[in-house]
A = this chain, B = another copy of it.
Amino acid sequence: MSPRRVYSALVHHPVKDRDGASVATSVTNLDVHDIARSSRTYGLSGYYVVTPITAQHAIVDRILAHWRPGAPGAGRVPQRAEALRLIQVARSIEDAVADIEAREGRPPRVWATGARAPAGVDTLSFAEGGERLRSDPEVPTLILFGTGHGLVGDTLAAANAVLAPIRAGGDYNHLSVRAAAAIIFDRLFGES
């Protein structure tokens, strides 16, 4: 499978805290690993860890250094090293968009995600989203995931589309962002 022109980004700023205020969250090791592995498994071309905090960039660099060619992790679990090669750090969503434009020669469409549908916004179903990705594979796409309590309203408003929330059959939805990202990739790209 050649990589899709699809990219993921895990946004640590700006995101909501439990009161809806805009905050920056901390990078966690397992978010970096898990979403890289899921991105690689579903054939994405890149995974951006988005944070403006320089000290957090150093944390990601330290994780990646462990898995670079020649480093201890790379020999031990080569598949993991392959997944982590997808990772780039970006200071902002805009920087991730600019980086994709530089790689692909055109800016990506940006799709936001969230656990609840924002009021007054038409969401894109997974069936429709998957169909769009298959029908124009030359258009790059960036899928945004929020940490904390989710992406802020301005990010949703600026996106080209907001994907529908995952419906699991009940009214409880408290998936981790790692689980949600995996399910969304599977709904858009998986084979049953």
Contact = CB atoms under 8 A, between A and B. Distances in A.
A102 interface: no
Interface string A156-192: 0000000000111111111110111111011101111
A34 interface: yes
A5 interface: no
- Interface core residue of A30, A79, A168, A187 (most chain B CB under 10 Å): A168
Interface in A69-84: 79-80, 82-83
Contacts of A174: 37, 40-41, 79-80, 82-83
Nearest to A115: B41
A107 interface: no
A1 B192 contact: no
Interface residues of A, number: 41
A176 B168 CA distance: 20
A174 B166 CA distance: 23
A176 B167 CA distance: 22
Nearest to A126: B192
A187 B192 CA distance: 8
Pick the 4 closest A-B CB pairs, nearest first.
Answer: A179-B182, A1-B170, A167-B191, A79-B174
